[in-house]
Amino acid sequence: MTVLLDIAEPGQSLRPHEVRSEHRKRVVGIDLGTTFSLVAAVDLQGKPACIPDPAGHVACPSVVCYPPKGGVVVGDAAVVLSAQFPADTVASVKRTMGRSLEDVQASEHRTSYALAAGDGGMVRIITSQNNLSPVEVSAAILKTLAERAEDALGGALQGAVITVPAYFDDAQRQATKDAGRLAGLEVLRLVNEPTAAALAYGLDHGREGVYAIYDLGGGTFDISILRLTKGVFQVLATGGDSALGGDDFDHRLCEFFFQKVGVEKPTPDVLQRVRQMARSTKERLSQEDSVTIALELSDGKTWEIPVTRTHFEEMIADLVRATGIPCRRALKDAGVGAKDLQGVVLVGGSTRVPMVRQFVKDVFGREPLSDLDPDQVVALGAAIQAEQLSGNATGDMLLLDVTPLSLGIETMGELVEKIIARNAPIPTARSQDFTTFKDGQTAMAIHVVQGERELVNDCRSLARFELRGIPPMTAGAARIRVTFQVDADGLLTVSAREETTGIEQSVAVKPSYGLGDAEIERLLREAMVHGEEDWKKRLLHEARVEAERVLSASGAALREDGDLLDEMELKRVKASMLALWEASQKEDHEAINRARETLDKETVFFAERRMDRNVRRVMTGRKVDDFQ
Ligand code: ADP
Ligand code: MG
């Protein structure tokens, strides 16, 4: 019985994110940050990865510009426009989510845009064209990230997990959820940022106990103490400083630069340029020991200012030390000591500063976990959570599931070439290259089978499809890459692609679990019983296939270049061909192979002469195409 299900659109690329079956839900995790936002998804191998924008950047500045002429600009482009339209550019909108005007004013959060009080005193954002709620601004960011993910995943999103700080109250959470809905997302869940970071490190599979999550971002510092019991994280205590982050490091560097060049009141334009320079200097100093900046002022004078890491560390030492107080307080609130911790996780771009890392180590008395990119870790954890909630994967299943039977394709002579072996952990993907069998062959039939036996007829047929449009080439010249992918649900997608032209076809196959346990067992038992017999059959088939290939190649050669042989030679070659054909009609694979070797030997000199002729043709400047 042949089962053939919906043909999937053959994708052009095999990037892991793009490879997914029709049956897998397209879900993402979104880190909606104060300064940067990211989107991530779990690939077919079960690994979460951030999705970059077309320029290759994964972090989208959480900045939205509403230019006076209309429109909405999000991310890096909005940062560029902010110099021109400071009052129409909204940054750090997260600080206003679910807050009243009074709350925001009390927080001393300074904005370049105007604020007003709306219904119930809730904050509104006023630009020259708009009167916006923070929810609308956040939705604009979410929409940008969702569109980026849809491009990468090849279709509309079916759900998203969005992260929020652990301390967010109900109003702030509700506002975040509304923003998701406004962006057209189905919000599967809001997850605490520290919990997402813990998930990214797989701590939910680790030892039960208490963990500290140290998150130093662009404008905020958060410390969270979590307790893991039975795979669930409980927030024991949170703390931090909502006005402390990497921006303050930048600020110290700016002050230093302006002091060096003796500028007290920089123009907004110069201020923005110097701020950007400060940020990049800071980020470079995480790797390099010293950086020299070239600062050109409006009077045309250029200043070269060197900064060493040591000097930078002196500038920020008090800021870094200030994070220690909330850490100790949070531990106290949670009722644990630093010694009782199972682990410490670094989150936030500013934890890349070596001095910060060292400080965290000193405060908690242990090396913090830092293998994952600290500014991606929240988004990665959110993606894992989304994957689990969508039913694409449930924690353990991801690790324990295997393919129950081998999967392969039919090759010449009704043989099975196994591509994914039985018991391979899923999700999994493997490719194998095949070639054409005949000169000028323009199509290739792909027959997908499942089972342990050597011959197609003894396996279960899953699907058939055809790769068409292969350019005519000599037998063996085309390279056709067949890729098998089994997703976490056991769903198989097979694609075939001719590598020189990029022509591709693919098909999604019924779940390999369509077979009941009893049937799987029967197929396995048969494979064992018939092992020896199958082997002989396989050898015979292989010998016949090879014989046919050599016969067909020799025939073509005679047709093209038969004039290179004299009458005697021609007779001998033809006799050997006949002998091989006769042998191939019998059941003895060894006899067939002997006859084939004889023909091979008979035609060595013929092949040499053909090669000479071809070389001469090329030398006389004819196109290769002319004799194909
Ligand atoms: P958010 O506050 O939105 O959570 P992030 O966690 O992405 O933001 O942190 C952003 C901050 O991290 C910025 O101040 C940025 O300059 C800083 N940062 C990013 N990379 C580095 C680096 N290599 N060295 C020092 N700081 C960095
Ligand atoms: Mg963050």
Give the residue, 2 or 182, on which the prediction is more confident: 182
Q: Which pLDDT score, from 0 to 100, does residue 242 have?
A: 85
Nearest Cα to 429, choosing from 153, 45, 154, 49? Answer: 45
Average pLDDT, the chain: 84
Instruction: Say whether both 460 and 472 belong to one domain.
Output: yes
CATH code where residue 289 lies: 3.90.640.10
Q: Which pLDDT score, from 0 to 100, does residue 425 have?
A: 63
Measured CA to CA in angstroms, residue 109 lies from 39, 166, 244 at distances of: 26, 20, 11
User: What number is the average pLDDT over the span 277-306?
Assistant: 91
Query: Count of CB atoms within 10 A of residue 233's CB?
Result: 22
Q: Which pLDDT score, from 0 to 100, does residue 521 have?
A: 64
- Choosing from 88, 215, 375, 401, the catalytic residue is 215
Q: Report which ligand 1 atom has the smallest distance to the Cα of 349.
A: 12
With a 6 A CB cut-off, is 159 part of the ligand 1 pocket? no
Q: Report which ligand 1 atom has the smallest distance to the Cα of 374.
A: 6
Rounded to the nearest angstrom, the distance between the alpha carbon of 220 and the centre of ligand 1 is 10
Instruction: Say whether both 498 and 394 belong to one domain.
Output: no
User: For a substitution probing ligand 1, which of 35, 76, 312, 372 has the most ligand atoms within 8 Å of its CB?
Assistant: 35
390, 25 in Cβ contact below 8 A? yes
Rounded to the nearest angstrom, the distance between the alpha carbon of 11 and the centre of ligand 2 is 34
Residue 526 resides in a domain: no
With a 6 A CB cut-off, is 35 part of the ligand 1 pocket? yes
With a 6 A CB cut-off, is 218 part of the ligand 1 pocket? yes
With a 6 A CB cut-off, is 34 part of the ligand 1 pocket? yes
User: For a substitution probing ligand 1, which of 32, 36, 355 has the most ligand atoms within 8 Å of its CB?
Assistant: 36
The continuous run of DSSP H or E covering 464 comes out as strand 460-468
User: Is 40 strand, coil or helix?
Assistant: strand
Q: Would the pTM of this model clear 0.85, i.e. be above it? A: no
127, 113 in Cβ contact below 8 A? yes
State yes or no: is 31 an active-site residue.
Answer: yes
User: What number is the average pLDDT over the span 168-182?
Assistant: 85
Instruction: Say whether both 118 and 174 belong to one domain.
Output: yes
Q: Which tokens go with 273?
A: 């340029």
Instruction: Say whether both 469 and 486 belong to one domain.
Output: yes
Give the residue, 12 or 347, on which the prediction is more confident: 347
- Side-chain half-sphere CA neighbours of 466 within 13 A: 7
Residue 628 resides in a domain: no
Of 490, 516, 542, the domain-final residue: 516
130, 111 in Cβ contact below 8 A? no
- Choosing from 53, 88, 178, 193, the catalytic residue is 193
Of 276, 299, 318, the domain-final residue: 318
Q: Which pLDDT score, from 0 to 100, does residue 518 have?
A: 61
CA-nearest residue, atom 20 of ligand 1: 349
- Convert the pLDDT of each residue in 428-451 to its tens digit: 788 888 888 788 888 888 898 888
With a 6 A CB cut-off, is 36 part of the ligand 1 pocket? yes
Q: Report which ligand 1 atom has the smallest distance to the Cα of 279.
A: 16
Q: Which of 178-187, 347-356, 442-451, 486-495 has the lowest mean pLDDT?
A: 486-495
User: For a substitution probing ligand 1, which of 76, 283, 288, 359 has the most ligand atoms within 8 Å of its CB?
Assistant: 283
122 CB-near residues (< 8 Å, 6+ apart): 99, 100, 101, 133
d(CA 508, CA 486) in angstroms, rounded, equals 10
Helix axes 309-322, 324-334, angle to 10 degrees: 30
- Convert the pLDDT of each residue in 316-354 to its tens digit: 999 999 999 999 999 998 899 999 999 999 999 999 999
Mode of pairing for the β-strands spanning 159-164 and 27-32: parallel
CA-nearest residue, atom 19 of ligand 1: 349
d(CA 143, CA 125) in angstroms, rounded, equals 19
- Nearest ligand for residue 163 CA: 2
Give the residue, 427 or 244, on which the prediction is more confident: 244
Q: How confident is the model at residue 524 (pLDDT cuts 50, 70, 90)?
A: low
Distance of CA 142 to the CA centre of its chain: 19
Residue 1 resides in a domain: no
Mode of pairing for the β-strands spanning 221-229 and 209-216: antiparallel
Cis status of the peptide bond prior to 427, with omega within 30 of 0 = yes
Distance of CA 139 to the CA centre of its chain: 24
Of 318, 352, 368, the domain-final residue: 318
Q: Which tokens go with 36?
A: 């940067």
Rounded to the nearest angstrom, the distance between the alpha carbon of 347 and the centre of ligand 1 is 10
State yes or no: is 94 an active-site residue.
Answer: yes
State yes or no: is 418 an active-site residue.
Answer: no
H helix intervals, 365-470: 377-390, 395-400
Instruction: Say whether both 184 and 290 belong to one domain.
Output: no
d(CA 148, CA 155) in angstroms, rounded, equals 11
- Choosing from 53, 88, 94, 250, the catalytic residue is 94
For residue 84, with 0-12 CB atoms within 10 Å meaning exposed, 13-18 middle and 19 or more buried, which class applies? Answer: middle
First to last CA, the chain: 40
CATH code where residue 581 lies: 1.20.1270.10
Q: Report which ligand 1 atom has the smallest distance to the Cα of 287.
A: 23
Q: How many domains does the chain have?
A: 4
With a 6 A CB cut-off, is 240 part of the ligand 1 pocket? no
Q: Report which ligand 1 atom has the smallest distance to the Cα of 246.
A: 14
d(CA 369, CA 572) in angstroms, rounded, equals 75
Instruction: Say whether both 336 and 407 belong to one domain.
Output: no
214, 347 in Cβ contact below 8 A? yes
With a 6 A CB cut-off, is 353 part of the ligand 1 pocket? yes
609 CB-near residues (< 8 Å, 6+ apart): 561, 564, 565
Structural domain for 498, as ranges: 403-516
DSSP classification of residue 36: E
d(CA 548, CA 458) in angstroms, rounded, equals 23
Residue 300 resides in a domain: yes
* Residues whose Cβ atom is located within 5 A of ion ligand 2: 33, 217
176, 32 in Cβ contact below 8 A? yes
d(CA 486, CA 345) in angstroms, rounded, equals 33
Helix and strand element counts for the chain (H, E): 17, 26
Query: Is residue 398 predicted with pLDDT exceeding 60?
Result: no
CA-nearest residue, atom 13 of ligand 1: 218
Instruction: Say whether both 481 and 349 belong to one domain.
Output: no
Q: How many residues does the chain have?
A: 628
CATH code where residue 106 lies: 3.30.420.40
Rounded to the nearest angstrom, the distance between the alpha carbon of 130 and the centre of ligand 2 is 28
Tell me the Ramachandran region of residue 155: left when phi exceeds 0, alpha when psi lies from -120 to 50, beta otherwise.
left
**Phi, psi of 67, rounded to the nearest 5 degrees:** -60, 145
Sequential DSSP letters for 542-606? HHHHHHHHHHHHHHHHHHHHGGGS-HHHHHHHHHHHHHHHHHHTSS-HHHHHHHHHHHHHHTHHH
CA-nearest residue, atom 23 of ligand 1: 283
Residue 15 resides in a domain: no
Q: Which of 33-37, 200-204, 329-333, 554-558 has the lowest mean pLDDT?
A: 554-558
With a 6 A CB cut-off, is 33 part of the ligand 1 pocket? yes
472, 12 in Cβ contact below 8 A? no
Q: Which tokens go with 592?
A: 């067939």
CATH code where residue 432 lies: 2.60.34.10
Give the residue, 63 or 43, on which the prediction is more confident: 63
State yes or no: is 169 an active-site residue.
Answer: no
Instruction: Say whether both 285 and 167 belong to one domain.
Output: no
Measured CA to CA in angstroms, residue 607 lies from 557, 573, 628 at distances of: 9, 12, 16
With a 6 A CB cut-off, is 375 part of the ligand 1 pocket? yes
Q: Which pLDDT score, from 0 to 100, does residue 139 have?
A: 95
Q: Which pLDDT score, from 0 to 100, does residue 58 have?
A: 95
409, 449 in Cβ contact below 8 A? yes
Q: How confident is the model at residue 616 (pLDDT cuts 50, 70, 90)?
A: low
Q: Render the burial of 532-543: b for 16+ CB within 10 Å, e for the rest.
A: eebeebbebbbb
Instruction: Say whether both 500 and 579 belong to one domain.
Output: no
Nearest Cα to 59, choosing from 374, 294, 411? Answer: 374
H helix intervals, 183-267: 193-200, 246-261
User: For a substitution probing ligand 1, which of 375, 377, 378, 380 has the most ligand atoms within 8 Å of its CB?
Assistant: 375
Residues forming a β-bridge with 482: 432, 496
Instruction: Say whether both 371 and 422 belong to one domain.
Output: no
Query: Is residue 454 predicted with pLDDT exceeding 80?
Result: yes
Residue 9 resides in a domain: no
- Side-chain half-sphere CA neighbours of 54 within 13 A: 4
Task: For CA atoms 330, 336, 339, 341, give the dihedral sign.
Answer: negative
Residues forming a β-bridge with 410: 416
Instruction: Say whether both 338 and 297 belong to one domain.
Output: no
Distance of CA 567 to the CA centre of its chain: 63
User: What number is the average pLDDT over the span 9-30?
Assistant: 55
d(CA 531, CA 534) in angstroms, rounded, equals 5
Q: Which pLDDT score, from 0 to 100, does residue 397 have?
A: 31
Q: How confident is the model at residue 143 (pLDDT cuts 50, 70, 90)?
A: very high
Residue 523 resides in a domain: no
- Convert the pLDDT of each residue in 560-578 to its tens digit: 888 888 888 888 888 999 8
Q: How confident is the model at residue 553 (pLDDT cuts 50, 70, 90)?
A: confident
Instruction: Say whether both 451 and 582 belong to one domain.
Output: no
d(CA 42, CA 593) in angstroms, rounded, equals 50
Q: Report which ligand 1 atom has the smallest distance to the Cα of 219.
A: 2
Q: Report which ligand 1 atom has the smallest distance to the Cα of 33.
A: 3
- Nearest ligand for residue 164 CA: 2
Residue 524 resides in a domain: no
User: What number is the average pLDDT over the span 275-292?
Assistant: 95
